[in-house]
Amino acid sequence: MLAFGLVLNTLGIGFFSWAIFALAVYALPFFVALSIGTLAFRDGAGVFGALLIGVASGALTLAAGRVAVAFFRSLALRVAIATVFAVPAAIAGYHVVFALSQIGVPSSAWRHVFACLGAACISGTA
């Protein structure tokens, strides 16, 4: 029974880590979709309309980023586009790792150190 629990804990931690890294890639499109969807709801689009507008704007942001990276040959423009997508991922990664480090790290300084390292890793992944 103990071995079964260890296997399930390992799978759970692995799934959670995969979810964090996968969602960090989509941090900018999610932020755009949430912002535009909230704006549309506030302006009277209704729940369904705001959801539709938000999903469309997030998908458009992701598609525009991918097309821009594929279209432009300049390294500076590609780095700028990658930076635009990586900065929100770094911010999200910092907050996720900081929140998770509060579980087992008592020192505030070490929590910030781990959060900065997590932000760098997640931003590099994005």
Mean pLDDT computed over 26-53: 90
The pLDDT value recorded for residue 123 is 81
Structure tokens at 73: 């040959």
Per-residue pLDDT reduced to its tens digit, 71-110? 888 888 888 888 888 888 888 888 888 888 888 778 888 8
Predicted TM-score (pTM) of the model is: 0.71
Contacting residues for 21 by C-beta, under 8 A, at least 6 apart: 122, 125
40 pLDDT band, cuts 50/70/90, is very high
The pLDDT value recorded for residue 11 is 87
The CA-CA-CA angle for residues 55, 67, 126, to 5°, reads: 70
